[in-house]
Amino acid sequence: MIQLINLKKVFKEQKTVNEQAAVNDVSIKIKKGEFITLLGPSGCGKTTTLRMIAGFEEPSSGSILIDGQDVSYKQPHERDVNTVFQSYALFPHMNVYSNVAFGLKIKKVPNEEIKKKVSEVLKLVQLEGYDLRYPNQLSGGQKQRVAIARAVVNSPKVLLLDEPLGALDLKLRKQMQFELKHLQQKLGITFIYVTHDQEEALTMSDRIAVMNNGKIEQVGTPDEIYEKPHTKFVADFIGESNMFEAKVKNYQGDLINLVIEDGQDISIKADAEKKDLCSGENILITIRPERMKFSKTPEKGKNSVCCTIKERVYIGSIQKTIAQLKNGKEITVSEPAGYVFDYNNNKDAFVSWEYEHGVV
């Protein structure tokens, strides 16, 4: 439904200091009714991408198609797209009803119809009865609900949301994440959502596009992005990862044998995406902390590397343990609290994980 083709944006100011493009050759196809999130660190080009889709910013090159129509250089109001900002951008001198009704009034929708639509949409965002309040009489969460109501009342094809929950406290943000997701499912509107918060992206999205330095590094479902990161950046940015430098030794049945940086041997499953590795090749292996377990003796049929336990940290429902390989490289292991292991510091132990949990 929406297609970005080799989209690029270089700001004038960036040219003068020879900075990289804000958005650099971004291509992606977004399906109708999809909840897609642009996820990446501050400055990676998320807002600029969104502003080009909205029509607030002209691309330097490349194009934007909505339903097959090239809208790259159309005015914002000529696109069937609305935007919700972190700052809410409500009209302070208008009450909730007028804020939500504003776009419909401009479009000269009959008053009776406006009344019906506004009351429907206020119900949808759980603000029934707030019609006459002014923005300064609302909490942050309520203001954001008004902004969302205003953005969906004219049933746009696409809603763009730029860190819309960023100003809310943690608990409210978590609650609003679910509310927004449910609202999106009810309305069937395509959502393009921007956040730097990986947990938010994993919770809400059908698919995530991970951005870095103006480029998309990987697009996939939350599960794919978390379990099969394609690049070092993605593995690092989303969740915690243990990363080892490794050298390919040989293939053995459905396994590939490797030697890691401190000289110990491990293996990975030779599934489809790893089949093109040659012996002698240097690669990076990532393993999620929760895929690892400690034991006193090596475990059979898994990877088991020798390490020294350094430190143990409680984080409520899980406990984190920092161990060290022989070369000093630190490993983080997350285990459910209550798991019984003798965690004395400076004690030798083995850390084990299944062959399939090592990702190249």
Q: Which residues bind ligand ADP (CB under 6 A)?
A: 11, 13-14, 22, 40, 42-48
Residue number, 214 or 358, with CB nearest to Mg ion = 214
Reading across the β-sheet that carries 348-353, which strands appear in turn?
293-295, 348-353, 303-315, 318-324, 330-336
CB of 162 to Mg ion, least distance (A): 6
Residue number, 150 or 196, with CB nearest to ligand ADP = 196
CB of 13 to ligand ADP, least distance (A): 4
Q: Is the Cβ–Cβ distance between 6 and 27 less than 8 Å?
A: yes
Residue number, 44 or 333, with CB nearest to Mg ion = 44
Q: Which does 127 bind (CB under 5 to 8 A by kind): ligand ADP, Mg ion, none?
A: none
Task: List, in sequence order, every beta strand (DSSP E) within the chain.
Answer: 2-9, 23-30, 35-39, 61-66, 69-70, 81-85, 158-162, 190-195, 207-212, 215-220, 242-252, 255-260, 265-269, 282-287, 293-295, 303-315, 318-324, 330-336, 348-353
Residue number, 205 or 303, with CB nearest to ligand ADP = 205
The number of beta carbons lying within 10 Å of the beta carbon of residue 113 is: 10
CB of 81 to ligand ADP, least distance (A): 17
CB of 47 to Mg ion, least distance (A): 3
Q: Which does 144 bind (CB under 5 to 8 A by kind): ligand ADP, Mg ion, none?
A: none
3-state percent breakdown (helix, strand, coil) of the chain, nearest 5: 30, 35, 35
Residue number, 45 or 239, with CB nearest to ligand ADP = 45
CB of 340 to ligand ADP, least distance (A): 44
Question: How many residues contact Mg ion, by CB under 5 A?
Answer: 1
- Enumerate residues 6+ apart whose C-beta is below 8 A from 254: 269, 270
Residue number, 45 or 59, with CB nearest to ligand ADP = 45
Q: Which does 173 bind (CB under 5 to 8 A by kind): Mg ion, ligand ADP, none?
A: none
Q: How far is CA 271 from the centre of its chain?
A: 26
Half-sphere CA count of 55, side-chain side, radius 13 A: 18
CB of 230 to ligand ADP, least distance (A): 20
Q: Which does 56 bind (CB under 5 to 8 A by kind): Mg ion, ligand ADP, none?
A: none
CB of 322 to ligand ADP, least distance (A): 31
Q: Which helix (H) or strand (E) holds 97?
A: helix 96-106
CB of 38 to ligand ADP, least distance (A): 8
Among 24, 37, 47, 212, the residue binding Mg ion under the rule CB under 5 A is 47
Residue number, 39 or 104, with CB nearest to Mg ion = 39
Residue number, 46 or 173, with CB nearest to ligand ADP = 46
Q: How far is CA 297 from the centre of its chain?
A: 38
- Enumerate residues 6+ apart whose C-beta is below 8 A from 262: 325, 326, 327, 329
Q: Which does 18 bind (CB under 5 to 8 A by kind): ligand ADP, Mg ion, none?
A: none
- Enumerate residues 6+ apart whose C-beta is below 8 A from 343: 294, 309, 312, 321
Q: Is the Cβ–Cβ distance between 305 and 264 less than 8 Å?
A: yes
Interface with Mg ion by CB under 5 A: which residues?
47
